[in-house]
Amino acid sequence: VSNPVPAMPRYVRVNTLKISFVEALRSLQEVSHEVEQDNLIPDLLVLPAGTDLHKHPLVLQGSLLLQGKASCMPAQALAPVPGWEVLDACAAPGNKTVQLAALMKGQGRVIACEVNENRVKRLRETVCLAGASNVEVWHQDFLRIDPTLPEFAKVKGILLDPSCSGSGTSVQRLDHLLPSAAEGRSEDELEKQRVEQLARFQQTALLHALSFPAVERVVYSTCSIHQRENEDVVRFVLPQAIAQGFQLASPFPSWPHRGLPVFDGAHHLLRTDPSRDNMDGFFVALFVQNAMGVDELC
Interface with ligand SAM by CB under 6 A: which residues? 90-96, 113-116, 119, 141-143, 161-163
Q: What are phi and psi of 279, to 5 degrees?
A: -155, 175
Q: Is 96 annotated as a binding residue?
A: yes
* Closer residue to ligand SAM in complex, CB, 40/143: 143
The SS3 call for residue 261 is coil
Rounded Cα distance, 252 and 236, in Å: 23
The SS3 call for residue 98 is helix
Rounded Cα distance, 188 and 179, in Å: 13
Q: Is 72:22 a contact under the CB 8 Å cutoff?
A: no
* Closer residue to ligand SAM in complex, CB, 161/229: 161
Closest CA to 71 of 136, 5, 13, 132: 13
* Closer residue to ligand SAM in complex, CB, 35/127: 127
223 is catalytic: yes
* Closer residue to ligand SAM in complex, CB, 1/149: 149
DSSP 58-76: HHHTTSEE---HHHHHHHH
Q: Which residues contact 113 (CB under 8 A, 6 or more apart)?
A: 87, 88, 89, 90, 91, 138, 140, 142, 145
Q: Is 161 annotated as a binding residue?
A: yes
Instruction: Give least dist CB 92 to ligand SAM, A.
Output: 4
Instruction: Give least dist CB 138 to ligand SAM, A.
Output: 9
Instruction: Give least dist CB 141 to ligand SAM, A.
Output: 4
* Closer residue to ligand SAM in complex, CB, 28/127: 127
Instruction: Please confirm whether the linkage preceding 93 is cis (ω < 30° from 0).
Output: yes
Instruction: Give least dist CB 220 to ligand SAM, A.
Output: 12
Q: How far is CA 205 from CA 53, 144, 160, 237, in A?
A: 35, 10, 8, 10
Instruction: Give least dist CB 82 to ligand SAM, A.
Output: 20
AA identity, residue 3: N
* Closer residue to ligand SAM in complex, CB, 143/262: 143
Rounded Cα distance, 71 and 7, in Å: 17
Q: Is 245 annotated as a binding residue?
A: no
Instruction: Give least dist CB 116 to ligand SAM, A.
Output: 4
Q: Is 69:11 a contact under the CB 8 Å cutoff?
A: yes
Q: Is 90 annotated as a binding residue?
A: yes
Q: List the catalytic residue out of 72, 113, 164, 223.
A: 223
Residue set of the binding site for S-adenosyl-L-methionine: 90-96, 114, 141, 161
Question: From the annotation, which residues make up the binding site?
Answer: 90-96, 114, 141, 161
Catalytic residues: 223
